[in-house]
Amino acid sequence: MEINYSDQKIIKGKKSIFLAGPTPRGENVISWRTEACKILAELGFDGVVYVPEYSTWKPKEDYIDQAMWERTALTEATTILFWIPRKLPELPAFTTNVEFGYWLHSKKVIYGRPDNAQKTKYLDWLYELDYNKKPFNNLEELLKEATKITKI
């Protein structure tokens, strides 16, 4: 597994999973993506994992550079995994809402959120409508499914 962080050049042409969802804005909140990467490694995923955070796990510095990296990586990704553990005000996921709607019709999306995630009813409804699937409510199960469906 290769982890491709947003402060690195984008790896292209390989099977890949983009970890979409809320990014912590403060250094005192641990990113859910650290656990996701650990689980993917344990599952033996052998592709690229796009992590839209710096390799240092520090908050973003250049907004435009970050947004362009994400857009390119989302386009390149063979699977876009949305995990939305929305908790207000710590993880509002406002940008995630836009990205979810934008990429939903790509047919590359797999989606989940914990049962206690706030304000996800509309996202659940859209996913069920467009994919005829219920959202996952367990990160590990979502990642297991993502590894099964991710192809080059």
Domains of the chain: total: 1
In the chain, the amino acid numbered 136 is F
Give 101-129 pLDDT, tens digit per residue. Answer: 999 999 999 999 999 999 999 999 999 99
The yes-or-no verdict on residue 56 having pLDDT over 90 is: no
Mean pLDDT (whole number) for 77-83: 98
SS (H, E, C) 84-106: CCCECCCECCHHHHHHHHHHHHH
Give 93-104 pLDDT, tens digit per residue. Answer: 999 999 999 999
Of the candidates 24, 8, 146, 29, the one whose C-alpha atom is nearest the C-alpha of residue 96 is: 24
Query: CATH number, domain at 127?
Result: 3.40.50.450
d(CA 135, CA 54) in angstroms, rounded, equals: 28
Whether the CB-CB separation of 127 and 135 falls below 8 Å is answered with yes
Sign of CA dihedral 95, 101, 105, 107: positive
The yes-or-no verdict on residue 57 having pLDDT over 70 is: no
135 is in which domain, residue-wise? 2-149
